[in-house]
Amino acid sequence: MQYVIDTSALVDAWTKWYSPRTIPSFWINIEYLGKEKILGIPDGVILELQVIEDDLYKWCKEREDIMSIISTDEIQALIKKIANEYPNLRNSSKAKKNFADPIVIAAAEYHKCSVVTHESPTGTINGPRIPDVCKDKGLRVLQIHHLVKDQGWVFN
């Protein structure tokens, strides 16, 4: 696996830049990456999307068997370690919606891959977001357009 994707990147891609109505090939490509085990969606991200229960959640849920990264015992152990090392990680957003953040980071650490997120770094470990913790752990962070560039996708 090369990429683990966060809720923020999926939501922004779906609602802002790569709407399935206007650029359906983007989502065909994302699904292909999932089938090939190049990109995964942590199970915690799917749980975050379930709260919204929109078409993006339905799209992910329909592909859960090929794209979901299950929080195995090994990933659960990393989640606990991350929660202990970065206790304010889940509290870095005003709405405290970062349920999946430690799961995303743990999955990336376990699979030794990059994190695709649209969260902005805070620049501090005292109130970190995904990019801050990933930087501290030496994990590559990129946004969805970097993934498109990495994969060499062109949309006509």
- pLDDT tens for each residue of 135-153: 999 999 999 999 999 999 9
Mean pLDDT value of segment 44-60: 93
Task: Please tell me the predicted confidence (pLDDT) of residue 9.
Answer: 97
Please check the confidence at residue 32 and state whether its pLDDT lies above 90. Answer: yes
Task: Please tell me the predicted confidence (pLDDT) of residue 95.
Answer: 47
Which of 86, 108, 111, 99 is closest to 44 using CA atoms? 99
- What separation in angstroms does the CA of 131 have from each of 45, 108, 124, 136, 145? 16, 12, 10, 9, 16
**Is 60:98 a contact under the CB 8 Å cutoff?**
no
Assigned fold of 3-151: Rossmann fold (3.40.50)
Average pLDDT along the chain: 93
Mean pLDDT value of segment 16-21: 96
**Domain boundaries along the sequence of the chain:** 3-151
Residue-wise pLDDT tens digits, 81-118: 999 999 988 664 444 466 899 999 999 999 999 999 99
At 75, list the tokens: 């990933």
Task: Please tell me the predicted confidence (pLDDT) of residue 93.
Answer: 47
